[in-house]
Structures are given as C-alpha cells and as structure tokens.
Amino acid sequence: MSFNEQFDQHGAWRREFALRLKLLSEWLKDHDLLNAAVEERLHRLESQVRSDKVMVAFVAEFSRGKSELINAIFFAGYGRRIMPASAGRTTMCPTELGYDAEVPPCLRLLPIETRLKTQALMEWRMVPEKWTRVDLDVNDPVQLAQALEKVAEVRHVSKDEARALGFWHDDSPEDNPRVDADGMVEVPKWRHALINIAHPLLKQGLVILDTPGLNAIGAEPELTVSLIPQAHAVVFILAADTGVTKSDLAIWREHLITEGDDNDARLVVLNKIDTLWDALSTPAQIEAQIDRQRATSAEILGLPIAQVIPVSAQKGLVAKVTGDDALLQASRLPGLERALAQGVMGQRQKILRSAVAGGIVELRAEAGRVLQIRRRDLAEQMLELRGLRGKNTSVIKHMRARIEQEQVEFNTSGAKIHAVRSIHLKLLREVFELLGTPTLKSELAQLTEALKQPGIKLGIKKAYGQTFARLREGLQKAQTTSAEIQSMLSGSFKQLNAEFGFSLQAPKEPEMARFQLDLEQIERSHLQYLGVANILKLAQPEFAERLVRALATRLRVVYETALGEVELWNKSAASQLDAQLKERRRNFGRRIEAIERIQQAATGLDERIDEIDASERDLNELDDKLAELTARLVGMPVSKEEPVHAATEPAALSQAA
C-alpha cells in the first residue's frame, strides 16, 4: 500500500472516530453522565484525533530533485508540476504545505528582511499582515503552479546586507553565493512560505516541509532546532550521480542527526537514478552501479542500506501523469511510497491509537464511577425499604425523621468538603506556578542575557546546560508536589468515603517523565546547533536572541501541555466530588419521596421496591452500553470497508494523489 493510500485510510479512521466520539458524547449527555471531567476528556480526545498532524520534512542541498520528488509523491493527480522544479535552484525559502479550514486557499510569503529583527519565526506567524498573500485557485493547476513559482524568487543585495541576513560568511568564502559584476549578491526574496490548499492529503492532516539548501537552513535556526526535529519523518535527498557530497554531509551531520535520536524516521533518497540509465550498459551493470552508490551512501551516513532508497522522481512523475506502469516501476517510486507508509504512517497510527486507547479507558472509568454511585445509592434504598416490610406507622415516621436528620447533618458538612478543596487548590497553585509562563520566562532570562553578550560565546553550551538543569529541576518539583497532592487527596477521599459513604477514588496523578523527555530532545537539538560551525553566527546578538526566542516558543508548548495535564487531573478530582454530592442530594430527595408514598398508601412500599429493581436493570443496561460504545472506539479497524462521512473534495482535487 502506498503512502497516499495508507494516509487516506488513516484520515478515514480519524473522521469515523470523531463521529463515533460525538455520538458517545450525545449519549452520555442524554443519560446525565457528562460531568466536567468526562466532558474534558471527550473534548481532548476529539481535539487530539481531529487535529493530529503528520509532518514529513524533505531536506536536501540545491539541485537534488527535492521539489520534483514532492510533485511525484503528492501532486501527480494535477497532471503537471505544481511545486517549481526546473533546472538549478528552485525552492529558495523553507516552504510548508498544509491545510487550515479557517484560511482561504493562499500562498503567504514572509519577506526576508524580517531576519533583521529578533522575533522568532513562530512569532511572525501571529502577525498575518506582515506576510504577502497570493490567493490560489485549487481547481486551476496552471494558476496554482504559476503562483507557487514565487517561492523561487530572489533579490540582489550588497555584501553587507547579505551578511546581515545570514547569507554571507567571511570565515567560509567557499560557501558564499556568487557576486555579480555590480558587486551584488543573490539572496532569497522570502524568508518562509506557507501554502494553504485543500489537497485531500493536506486536509487529512499531512504537513509537507520543503527546505532549501545548506546555506538557507543554517541561516534559519528554527528549522534545525524546532521544525525539522518535530517532523515525524525526514526524507533526505541525494543525487545518484554524485552520491554524498561535502555539503550533503554537512547538512546531515549539522542539521539532521543528533545523539540519541531515532534514526528510523530518517529515509535517504538516492534520486535521479535515471542519470545512470545508459544505453551502453546492461541492466545488470546499471543495477550494480545503483547498489554501489546505495552501499557507499549508507556507510558514509551511518545508516542501514535498507534506509537508502533509489528513485527517479522525474520519471515517477511522468509515469503517473501518463499512466505508464512500466516506467513507474522502473522509477522505483512505489518502493519509496511503501517505505513512507510503513515507517511514518505505521508508527504514527500506533502512537495515536495508543494515546486514544488510554484516553478512552480513563473516560470509561470517569463515566463508570457515576453509574457506580447510582447503583450503590439504589442498593442502600432497597435495603432500607425492605427493612420497612410489615412495620407500623410509627416506625415509618421514625425512618423519615432519621433520613431528614441525615440530610441536615450532610448539608452542614460542607465546611469539611470545602476544607479539602481549599488545601488541594493551595498545593495546586504551587504546581501551576512551577509550570506557568512567568516561571519559564524567568528561567530563560539568564540564558538570554548570556546570548546577548557581544563577541564569541565560548561558554554558551554551559549556559544552555544550566538553563535545562533548572528546567528539569522545576519539572521534578512539580512531580514531587503532585505526589504530595495525590497523597493528600487519597487520605481526604478515604475519610469522606468513611464519613458519608462516598466511593471517591483519587485520579491518577499527571506523569511528568514524558515532559522531561521532551526537554531532553529540545536540549539535544539546540546543543547540536551550538557547534563550531555556528559559533560565528552566535557572535551576532540579534541571531543569538532569535535562537533563544525559538527555544522559548518550543518550551512554551511543552509547559502548556504539562499544565493542561495538571488541570485535567484537578478537574477529575473535583468533578468526582461534585457528582457524588449531587447524587447524594438526589438520593435524600428520593428516600423522603418513597417514605411519603408508603405513608399514603399500603401499596407504596412494593411499588417503590419494583421501581428500584427496574432502575437497577436500567443502570446495568447503561453500563453495558457504555462498555460497548467505548470498546467500539478502542477496537476500530482501519480498512477500506469503514464507512466514511467526509465532505466531497473539489473536482480537480478528487483525482489528486
């Protein structure tokens, strides 16, 4: 199965899952099982599945056929090239292709001059008026292709301006762009491009990152420390006729491989194998030549040979457009698509399904607790009512007085419950403070100061190490405080259970270990960037500040996610208490109503007992239905037979991919 086919099925699974989750939500609401914690878990599951993105980064030096490969894999359905892929340099700026339903089809371009300011790339995304926008007609492939040619635009600047923009380095003249007769240097016109189109795969959550050559990657720190490390797969493209060149190796070592990284998510494409198709050589000789290049490239890059895949993107695109199956097989493009499908999509589905299954189990437990409270209250009522069989009026009156006294005592016990909440919230505030934005800003202030110092920063790695050590210590403190809260909650819930007959259970505390792992990954990508190759760039205060802003943007995501976990934990504990208080108040009302009916008619007791029996049967049916609905969500298959409720694609796109 090709990447496109498997991604399409993944999209169908996500849509069907979201639909079933919505039906579950409505069912829970109809049966009054939707408390704050259950509602929050439903919202998170739906958001997680609907917004799940799969980013594939295509990285290469200039003229390796990268844009042509993107055309061949994703855009052959248009019947022509969509991304500019002529001879020489094409994509001059990093380009992201994705889909946002809130934004009309367009190409947004960030001027290269924004590099002269310290704002990180993520911050510029929040300022849409600073981007040049070109509207796109997704049903007109010619207009679409012409508009996207803008990513190849250049401008000519002086050497000083090129230096300020990060494209001229006095210390490595061999890597500098050519100076023309007027002493001007060619640089990209745009710093970053965002393409928003309703391509079927992009609509389903695929994000394609197209990055230009070494010079451009090195000048944009966020590519190396943020975008590329967060990609679910990196496709690194070499040319079959040249193999691994010096600049290819520089990109690989400086920007793609970090110690401890999972290199299984790295695929190397040996592109342009058609340049080795020689009429004077036999098929066996051509095959031997390709195998030699694969083996040599794998050895130099330190990868298993299976991760180096030979293809001809150009012949693959032609074959798809013309329907030439023999040429498509000769291009070996299907082999690359299968590798992407098994590696990227297989792994992504496994991670998402595991996360979803965990969320569904928690959701089932939250809703199941509400049913359990009701079941226990019914059992108490049944015991109470059966004890009244054959009793006289005075006994029944005494029972009513006792229930009313219990109700009064329960209503005056609010102070104890309030005290539990008060201590809980006080400790929680400490965790919120440890994970809040002000704390993160404070921790990064020292690093920012060190990076602002002029000149060569030899102690920069030490400053980074100290910053991450403090961040890890903060997360550890948050974990310790969470454990204290958990212990306090367990003790308080045990006491309330004993006093009021509740069945409270402290929810599982948030696990900070995974956020520690996120910190380690971020630290690795930054420490790699602080190597000797970038030491002179870091001597520029503006560049260094931009790097720390990029770090802050990525760390903020980690801390906001951790904070969200703590908030959900708090909600789960509070909603349990609220649910049991609510059910207990209802229970008092039902018990008094039952006594009144018994006092009014001799048949009232038997009727109430029959009603409780019926209610117990109803609860068992609800429990079975809840188990069935949640089990369906966990066990949903991904298959072509799955019913899909998707919007119809635009005419020209229905054939794409």
Q: What are the DSSP calls for 146-188, one per residue?
A: HHHGGGG-EEEE-HHHHHHHT---TT-GGGSPPB-TTS-EEEE
Q: How many whole angstroms separate alpha carbon 473 and alpha carbon 216?
A: 36
Q: How many whole angstroms separate alpha carbon 364 and alpha carbon 42?
A: 10
Q: How many whole angstroms separate alpha carbon 298 and alpha carbon 294?
A: 6
Record the tokens describing residue 181, joined without a space: 């007769």
Tell me what the mean pLDDT of segment 443-458 comes to.
74
Q: In terms of Cα–Cα distance, which of 246, 230, 229 is closest to 238?
A: 246
**Residue 43 falls within a domain, yes or no?**
no
Higher pLDDT, 447 or 335: 335
pTM of the model: 0.75
Confidence band (pLDDT; 50, 70, 90) for 654? Answer: very low
Confidence band (pLDDT; 50, 70, 90) for 305? Answer: very high
In angstroms, how far is CA 545 from the centroid of its own chain? Answer: 26
pLDDT at 109: 95
Most confident region among 295-299, 409-413, 452-456, 626-630 by mean pLDDT? 295-299
pLDDT at 647: 32
**Residue 406 falls within a domain, yes or no?**
yes
Q: What confidence tens digit (pLDDT) does each residue in 66-80 have?
A: 889 999 988 888 888
**Residue 478 falls within a domain, yes or no?**
yes
Q: What confidence tens digit (pLDDT) does each residue in 4-33 have?
A: 787 788 788 888 888 888 888 899 989 888
pLDDT at 602: 60
pLDDT at 494: 87
pLDDT at 645: 33
Residue 349 has pLDDT above 60, yes or no: yes
**Residue 49 falls within a domain, yes or no?**
no
In angstroms, how far is CA 318 from the centroid of its own chain? Answer: 35
Residue 144 has pLDDT above 60, yes or no: yes
**Residue 442 falls within a domain, yes or no?**
yes
pLDDT at 337: 87
Average pLDDT of the chain is 82
Higher pLDDT, 386 or 437: 437
Q: In terms of Cα–Cα distance, which of 507, 540, 519 is closest to 474?
A: 519
Residue 1 has pLDDT above 90, yes or no: no
Most confident region among 83-97, 309-323, 493-507, 567-581 by mean pLDDT? 309-323
Confidence band (pLDDT; 50, 70, 90) for 194? Answer: very high
Query: Is residue 55 helix, strand or coil?
Result: strand
Q: In terms of Cα–Cα distance, which of 601, 657, 628, 46 is closest to 317?
A: 657
Record the tokens describing residue 567, joined without a space: 């908030």
Residue 366 has pLDDT above 90, yes or no: no
Tell me what the mean pLDDT of segment 214-241 comes to.
80
Residue 642 has pLDDT above 60, yes or no: no
Residue type, 62: F
**Residue 588 falls within a domain, yes or no?**
yes
Confidence band (pLDDT; 50, 70, 90) for 603? Answer: low
pLDDT at 263: 61
Owning domain of residue 506:
387-619
Tell me what the mean pLDDT of segment 325-351 comes to.
84
Residue 544 has pLDDT above 80, yes or no: no
Confidence band (pLDDT; 50, 70, 90) for 641? Answer: very low
**Residue 481 falls within a domain, yes or no?**
yes
Q: Quote the number of domains for the chain.
A: 1
Query: Is residue 568 helix, strand or coil?
Result: helix
Q: Are strands 190-196 and 95-98 parallel, antiparallel or unpaired?
A: parallel
**Residue 572 falls within a domain, yes or no?**
yes
- How long, in residues, is the chain? 657
Element (H, E) at 624: helix 604-634
Strand partners, 43: none
Tell me what the mean pLDDT of segment 373-400 comes to.
79
Tell me what the mean pLDDT of segment 417-421 comes to.
74
Residue 312 has pLDDT above 90, yes or no: yes
Higher pLDDT, 472 or 225: 472
Higher pLDDT, 244 or 574: 244
Tell me what the mean pLDDT of segment 59-63 comes to.
86
Most confident region among 147-161, 204-218, 541-555 by mean pLDDT? 147-161
pLDDT at 239: 92
* % of residues, the chain, pLDDT over 90: 21
Residue 343 has pLDDT above 80, yes or no: no
pLDDT at 617: 92
pLDDT at 640: 38
